[in-house]
Chains A and B, each alone.
Chain A
């Protein structure tokens, strides 16, 4: 896989105007972990089970944060592909909570309205949250169907869906909590 040349080399120099000076500090404040402690040993990237599906590795994302390259950091696919499995932070010699940094960057990208390079992943998360707001619990069948409708893609993966139905792994009816008002309140507070 051909990976993009990161800023900071002669092929891709950094322009001062690209730098957001307080970016690393903001990420540190929001994530509760210090990106500037990273010394790029790459334990995280080499161990990440999803590196092959990312454009740049977790330590590259951290490098962009250290350099203050906010726009570039918020546009990478890695922040969306990361599943928060903590494989990386369990290995990190500097005890950096890499997955918290990914969460922070993903949320910042949404707040700033930056184009999401992994729209399917965002759609999936949105459908899960809608289900939780509606029922208080995840209704997997409806999540999958709505996700498919939004993706306008019915046929791919249909065999797996049917297999799940046949094996009774998908309930037809949702299970709804009684005090759904309490849940709605939690979502409305966050404008969801």
Chain B
């Protein structure tokens, strides 16, 4: 049976999805449309500061995140696509809740009081709450036994102050296996991808990434599925081994399951062409 949710969410794509990972953005919006969620992009959003802001100046990181939070209307949840933007925004919200003087500063900076009740949700949270197979419709594009390793990177770790928040360990395995894919156990599911060291220490990160991809290959996976656009980029551009396998954004496989197809030129955005395995598994229509 096919149903729809019908709900509006504010949407914060973040810099990676708006540029280097447009395929991630596109598929995510498409999935939401299919399940009945209307995404309203935050007007005039700025970058959350990424690793660089909190590395060099914690107040700057807080203020950049604060401006983003202040753009979100209170009446609907804010959906965040990128796990690390999500972490920055939640961390800022957590800090502001605990800290009265920071809230005063927020009000001066953003021109409105801080809203402690704004619900910030990462994209994963949606799939924790719905049953994907309910939305697949009659021509169910089940993933036909596609063997994948789930790659969470540093998404599952967090600072001790946020230990009580929900953790999405196993979510990709649960969701994708519910539509016919086969998760493969491996040792690198939450090994950090190297993030910005990819620019400053490319050789070190190449070795790290090669180890991750080798481990997936040794586990006999056909592809790696990533939760984060930054991880996706590093796994694609830094791997310099011969034996490589395609890397999918989680959202890409979901949009395939929901029967969205892909826009023209989609596969050419991938460094390792995903078409051969999709064809072999009769997944691409």
Contacts and interface: CB of A to CB of B under 8 A. Distances in A.
A89 B159 contact: yes
Interface string A145-177: 001000000001100100110011111000101
Interface stretch (B48-56, B128-136, B137-145, B276-284): B48-56
A81 interface: yes
Given A132-B53, A137-B46, A53 B201 contact: yes
B247 interface: no
A19 interface: no
Interface string A80-107: 0101111101101001110110011011
A32 B102 CA distance: 14
B157 A128 contact: no
B109 interface: yes
B126 interface: no
Interface stretch (A1-9, A68-76, A178-186): A178-186
Interface size class for chain A? 35 or more
A140 B21 CA distance: 12
Contact of B67 (A49, A129, A183): A183
A83 B64 contact: no
A186 B51 CA distance: 17
B64 A132 contact: yes
30 contacts: A49-B208, A50-B194, A53-B201, A81-B201, A83-B195, A83-B196, A84-B54, A85-B195, A86-B154, A87-B190, A97-B160, A107-B56, A118-B200, A122-B56, A124-B196, A125-B52, A129-B53, A132-B47, A136-B47, A137-B15, A138-B19, A156-B202, A168-B269, A169-B269, A170-B19, A178-B44, A185-B109, A190-B60, A192-B57, A192-B60
